[in-house]
């Protein structure tokens, strides 16, 4: 199957996020967490661009969900101020890690591991809720919309919450496909395509939200000067 535009969106979005994180780390705040995210998006872009030409990107994706879970846990560990929340964020990476190890020991997952992705996404959503909980309990003087972290995390919420639902549906459809057999594949394939398209659109929109946050910071800084 020739990849259509929504499939290219994944690599484009990760590249866009790489640019956003790079500009932010360079212009505003070069703390480790932002450089780590820039590094993550660089690796993700490289991993996603390469298999597009071969149209076989299942194993790349299966490694990517683990990488995503670990990096995001590290980011939230740095961002959250209260010790119990930051430790909980770090602990939320464990289910994803354990699941990946379990699959690896079992010989690797031959198809797209949507359950692994669903696990990583729901862990990230819980980390995001921890962030919002802390934010509402520790109000600061700075206006919320001036925080780049807020914009970044809102974009992630938009993507990962939707992705969780998509990946669960994916997992259910995959299991049905294996039970029903070849006759399901031809009718269910289009649904897989649309769902993956939606996933990539949500990913792209989350990058646009992060870009808006960066744009706001740049505008605010130039306005103050």
Partner 1 sequence: MENLSQELSIVIVGSGFLFMVALAIACVVLVYQKKQLRQRFEKKQMQSLYHQELLKARLEAHEETLGQLAKELHDNLGQLLNSSKLLVSVAKNNHTDEALDMAHETLTVALQELRGVSKALDSGGVEHFDFIENLRAEAKRINASKNLVMTLEHPDQLALPKEQQLVLFRMVHEVFQNVLEHARASHIRVRTRQDDHNIEVEVIDNGNGFSQGAVIAPGHGIQNIKHRTSLMGGVVEWLSGPTGTRVRIQLPLS
Tell whether residue 111 is a contact of partner 1 (CB under 8 A). no
What is the rounded distance in angstroms from the CA atom of residue 145 to the CA atom of residue 165?
A: 28
What is the rounded distance in angstroms from the CA atom of residue 175 to the CA atom of residue 172?
A: 5
Count the neighbouring beta carbons within 10 Å of the beta carbon of residue 186: 8
**Residue of 91, 98, 104, 145 interacting with partner 1 (CB under 8 A):** 145
Query: Would you give the distance in Å from CA 15 to the centre of its chain?
Result: 13
Residues 156-215 that bind partner 1 (CB under 8 A): 157-158, 161-162, 165, 190-191, 194-195, 197-198, 201-202, 205
Query: Would you give the distance in Å from CA 161 to the centre of its chain?
Result: 10
93 within 8 A of 77, measured Cβ to Cβ: no
Tell whether residue 141 is a contact of partner 1 (CB under 8 A). yes
Nearer to partner 1, 65 or 156 (CB): 156
Tell whether residue 126 is a contact of partner 1 (CB under 8 A). no
To partner 1, the closest distance from the beta carbon of 104 in angstroms equals: 32
Question: Please, which residues have CB within 8 angstroms of residue 10's CB and are 6 or more apart in sequence?
Answer: 48, 200, 203
Tell whether residue 1 is a contact of partner 1 (CB under 8 A). no
Q: Please report, as ranges, the residues that interact with partner 1 according to CB under 8 A.
A: 132, 135-136, 139-141, 143-145, 154, 157-158, 161-162, 165, 190-191, 194-195, 197-198, 201-202, 205
């Amino acid at each position: 199957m020739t990849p259509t535009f929504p499939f290219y969106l994944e690599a484009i979005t990760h590249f866009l996020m790489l640019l956003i994180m790079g500009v932010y780390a360079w212009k505003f705040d070069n703390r480790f967490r932002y450089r780590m995210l820039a590094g993550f998006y660089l690796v993700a872009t490289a991993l996603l661009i390469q298999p597009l030409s071969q149209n076989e990107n299942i194993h790349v994706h299966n490694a990517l969900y683990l990488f995503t879970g670990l990096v995001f846990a590290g980011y939230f560990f740095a961002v959250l101020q209260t010790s119990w929340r930051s430790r909980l964020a770090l602990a939320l990476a464990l289910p994803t890690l354990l699941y990946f190890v379990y699959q690896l020991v079992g010989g690797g997952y031959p198809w797209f591991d949507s359950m692994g992705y669903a696990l990583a996404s729901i862990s990230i959503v819980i980390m995001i809720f921890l962030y919002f909980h802390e934010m509402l309990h520790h109000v600061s003087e700075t206006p919320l919309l001036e925080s780049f972290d807020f914009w970044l995390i809102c974009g992630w919420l938009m993507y990962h919450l939707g992705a969780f639902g998509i990946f669960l549906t994916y997992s259910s459809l995959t299991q049905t496909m294996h039970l029903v057999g070849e006759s399901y594949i031809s009718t269910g394939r289009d649904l897989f395509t649309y769902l993956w398209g939606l996933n990539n659109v949500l990913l792209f929109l989350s990058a646009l939200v992060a870009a808006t946050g960066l744009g706001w910071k740049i505008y605010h800084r130039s306005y103050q000067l």
